[in-house]
Amino acid sequence: MYKLIISDLDGTLLNENHEISAYTKKIVEEVTQKGIHFFIATGRHHYDVFEKKKELGLSNAYTISCNGGRVHGPKGELLFSHDIDDKVANEILSL
């Protein structure tokens, strides 16, 4: 039996309209009711992930966002962050 499922958002949990279908919500609920942990990992910003997590009712889920650059715990607490240095970001933006 699986103990953990980690899923992407775009093209996986979200349909072609970037929405979570009723069917997907039902399956996620069934999985979590069986005691299987469900986490979200995506390239999106963590604010986007928090909204989708809330929509799915995943109050105890960890989130991995920004292509692995940030990890948040179940309560939204930042556990890991690897941000681009401001100087580097400004150099890139100036191009």
- Has 8 been annotated as catalytic? yes
Q: What is the pLDDT of residue 74?
A: 94
Which of 8, 10, 48, 86 is catalytic? The answer is 8
Q: For every one of its 95 residues, what pLDDT tens digit does the chain have, with 9 covering 90 and above?
A: 889 999 999 989 999 999 999 999 999 999 999 999 999 999 999 999 999 999 999 988 999 999 999 999 999 999 999 988 999 999 999 99
Q: What is the pTM of this model?
A: 0.83
Which residue type, as a one-letter code, is found at position 81? S
Collect all residues with Cβ–Cβ distance below 8 Å to 33 and sequence separation of at least 6: none
